[in-house]
């Protein structure tokens, strides 16, 4: 793609930078599920992980490289030969592959982190990019902490990377320090002063520490950058990254202003974001742009009257434009057939194998016996919980709760499987959920700290499934468990056990 093209390359780093957020760790099967969703969404480049970080990261990158077809798969690598070698091996099966290597260029990082002189850093850049280019034709180089780098040295670093074979230059605002106007001017300065810049793509990767990641990214695109590095929902290190959905919809809604396009299929934005939310167990703030529950809500009488007359009075985009629709063409219930379920799953963006559809059929029938109507949200929850869950070390078999208001403490009686062996125990708590958690901990011989516990209704109605998220910490590790059930106490027990299984796997 030409550096002067009006199309923006969307580089998604949800699986790498996004997963580095505390509590956002995903299992291999969950990463694969999300990778397919991102490919369907129309993402151009997917940063599948940091192959050299761990055997698990290598496996994830390598498996995703085998699974996807149209998308470019890349792995991050430090400017070290062993990192680049690991990245090259991990992405080898991909039909379209890229190595993304990086090195800090700011005075602060060079002195205190790298302990290298500017001349030494230039040599490291040249050596790393040249080695990466010998492994694959598509190489991206990032000048870490570029927004706090000396402009003259940054130009030299970019030229060294281009001379060594880089096709994309990323100019990240690593710590979210830059302001939109100055960041746009930085990109314009590099395009004007870097020799060979007309033959490469400038990329931007902004963090949201000061709340301007999307604004800075848009300013950079306006100044000539043609790749934006983003995450779904804006998850990522510290305050997060630029949000894919906010950036894409800004370019879409304000196309006459920016004059830029993307390959993103915007009606799949909301389903993809909901999938991520269920995988990592984090909901979006009600006032979150694009994705929040209030994004298309109108309470003011004046606003309501205007929207009823013409939605454009207060809505600059439609709910349908991001995939927020009532899709009732196919109603799933206990009498639904396999082909109807497959059609529904396909329409929701889930490409499941035959064995996985069989699992879903069984789960649908069990749920249909408990509640009158099954909503799309119920199906989403079942896909994550039943098809792509972490293998169980602990499993709930039966649960019974006794609770009253006459002074008898809430009592939990449960039957669990622990490493395949059946265990029975009962215990008390200050409340029903507390009794459940304490009894489970006794059986599992675990003493985690409960950092967060939340309950949400998946859909409307008194028979709605309760969706529970539990965040546990133990021995310096954090895991999020999630589960759904028409009975909130059962959902709480399953979510707690799911988190313990994740801690056990880690």
96 and 58 belong to one structural domain? yes
Residue at which a domain ends, from 236, 253, 280: 280
Q: Is residue 289 part of a domain?
A: no
Asked whether the beta carbons of 229 and 203 are under 8 A apart, the reply is: yes
Q: How many domains does the chain have?
A: 3
The residues with which 46 forms a beta bridge, in sequence order, are 12, 73
Instruction: Looking at the structure, tell me whether residues 382 and 438 fall in a common domain.
Output: no
Pair 204, 131 in one domain = yes
Q: Is the domain of 480 the same as that of 343?
A: no
Tokens standing for residue 276: 């991520």
321 found inside a domain: no
Per-residue pLDDT of the chain (506 residues; tens, 9 = 90+): 666 689 999 999 999 999 887 777 788 888 999 999 999 999 999 999 999 999 999 999 999 999 999 999 999 999 999 999 999 999 999 999 999 999 999 999 999 999 999 999 999 999 999 999 999 999 999 999 999 999 999 999 999 999 999 999 999 999 999 999 999 999 999 999 999 999 999 999 999 999 999 999 999 999 999 999 999 999 999 999 999 999 999 999 999 999 999 999 999 999 999 899 888 878 888 899 999 888 887 545 555 566 566 777 767 898 889 988 654 445 677 777 888 888 888 777 777 888 888 888 888 888 888 776 787 778 877 887 777 665 678 989 999 999 887 778 999 999 999 988 999 999 999 999 999 999 999 999 999 999 999 898 876 666 678 889 899 999 888 888 888 888 999 999 999 998 998 888 76
CA separation for the pair 374, 85 (Å, rounded): 48
Same domain, 376 and 229: no
Query: Helix, strand or coil for residue 142?
Result: strand
Question: Please, where are the H alpha helices in 165-210?
Answer: 180-193
Do residues 347 and 248 share a domain?
Answer: no
Q: Whole-prediction pTM value?
A: 0.83
Give dist(CA 381, CA 458) in Å, integer: 8
In Å, the largest CA–CA distance within the chain is 80
Residues 121 and 257 in one domain: yes
Q: Cα separation of 20 and 344, whole Å?
A: 32
Residue 319 is given by DSSP the state G
Domain housing 434: 394-505
Residues 398 and 372 in one domain: no
Domain end marker among 348, 370, 387: 387
Residues 372 and 422 in one domain: no
Count CA atoms closer than 13 A to 16's CA, side-chain side. Answer: 25
Give how far Cα 219 sits from Cα of 181, 242, 301, 454, Å. Answer: 7, 12, 36, 37
CATH number of the domain where residue 167 is located: 3.20.20.70
Q: How far apart are CA 417 and CA 394, in angstroms?
A: 6
SS (H, E, C) 440-456: HHHHHCCCCEEEEEEEE
Is residue 422 included in any domain, yes or no? Answer: yes
In this structure, is residue 323 part of a structural domain? no
Residue 306 lies inside a defined structural domain of this protein: no
Residue 292 belongs to some domain of the structure = no
In this structure, how many other beta carbons lie within 10 angstroms of the beta carbon of residue 352? 19
231 and 352 part of one domain: no
In tens, the pLDDT along 214-271 reads 999 999 999 999 999 999 999 999 999 999 999 999 999 999 999 999 999 999 999 9
Secondary structure of the chain: what % helix, strand, coil (to 5)?
Answer: 45, 20, 35
344 assigned to some structural domain: yes
Residue 442's CATH number = 3.30.160.270
Dist. CA 320–CA 311, nearest whole Å: 12
pLDDT digits (tens, 9 = 90+) for 431-447: 999 999 999 999 999 99
Rounded to 10°, the helix 151-164/118-135 angle is 30
Same domain, 224 and 343: no
Residue 4, in any domain of the structure: no
Rounded to whole angstroms, how far apart are CA atoms 221 and 177? 18
Between the two ends of the chain, the Cα-to-Cα distance in Å is 41
DSSP one-letter code for 317? S
Sign of the CA dihedral running 262, 264, 277, 418:
negative
The answer to whether residues 150 and 257 belong to one domain is yes
């Amino acid at each position: 793609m030409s550096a002067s093209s009006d199309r923006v390359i969307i580089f998604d780093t949800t699986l790498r930078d996004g997963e580095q957020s505390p509590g956002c760790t995903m299992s291999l099967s969950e990463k694969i599920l999300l990778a397919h969703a991102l490919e369907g969404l129309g993402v151009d480049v997917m940063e599948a992980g940091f192959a050299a970080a761990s055997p698990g990261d290598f496996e994830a990158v390598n498996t995703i490289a085998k699974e996807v077809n149209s998308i470019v798969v890349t792995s991050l690598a430090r400017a070290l030969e062993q990192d680049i070698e690991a990245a090259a091996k991990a992405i080898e099966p991909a039909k379209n592959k890229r190595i993304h290597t990086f090195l800090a260029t700011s005075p602060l990082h060079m002195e205190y982190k790298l302990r290298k002189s500017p001349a030494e850093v230039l040599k490291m850049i040249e050596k790393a990019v040249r080695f990466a280019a010998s492994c694959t034709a598509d190489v991206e180089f990032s000048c870490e902490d570029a927004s706090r780098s000396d402009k003259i040295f940054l130009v030299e670093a970019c030229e060294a990377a281009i001379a060594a074979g880089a096709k994309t230059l990323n100019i990240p605002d690593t710590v979210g320090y830059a302001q939109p106007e100055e960041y746009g001017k930085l990109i314009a300065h590099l395009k004007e002063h870097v020799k060979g810049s007309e033959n490469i793509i400038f990329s931007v990767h902004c963090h949201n520490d000061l709340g301007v990641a999307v604004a800075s990214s848009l300013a950079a695109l306006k100044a000539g950058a043609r790749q934006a590095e983003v995450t779904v929902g804006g998850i990522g290190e510290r305050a997060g990254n630029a949000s894919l959905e906010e950036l894409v919809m800004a370019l879409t809604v304000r196309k006459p202003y920016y004059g830029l396009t993307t390959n993103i299929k915007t009606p799949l934005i909301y389903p993809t974001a909901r999938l991520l939310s269920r995988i990592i167990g984090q909901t979006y703030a009600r006032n979150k742009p694009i994705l929040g529950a209030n994004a298309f809500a109108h309470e003011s009488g004046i606003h309501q009257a205007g929207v009823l007359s013409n939605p454009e009075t207060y809505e600059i985009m439609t709910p349908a434009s991001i995939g927020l629709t009532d899709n009732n063409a196919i109603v799933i219930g206990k009498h639904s057939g396999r082909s109807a379920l497959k059609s529904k799953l396909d329409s929701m963006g889930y490409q499941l194998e035959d064995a996985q559809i069989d699992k879903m059929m069984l789960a649908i029938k069990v749920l249909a016996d408990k509640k009158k109507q099954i909503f799309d949200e119920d199906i989403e929850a079942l896909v994550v919980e039943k098809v792509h869950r972490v293998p169980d070390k602990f499993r709930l078999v039966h649960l019974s709760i006794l609770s009253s208001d006459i002074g008898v403490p809430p009592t939990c009686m449960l039957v669990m499987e622990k490493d395949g062996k059946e265990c029975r125990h009962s215990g008390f708590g200050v409340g029903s959920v507390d009794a459940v958690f304490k009894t489970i901990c006794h059986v599992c011989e675990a003493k985690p700290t409960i950092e967060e516990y939340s309950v949400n209704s998946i859909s409307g109605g008194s028979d709605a499934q309760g969706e529970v998220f539990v965040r546990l910490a133990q021995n310096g590790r954090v895991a999020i468990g999630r589960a759904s059930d028409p009975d909130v106490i059962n959902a709480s027990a399953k979510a707690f056990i799911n988190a313990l299984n994740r801690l056990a796997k880690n």
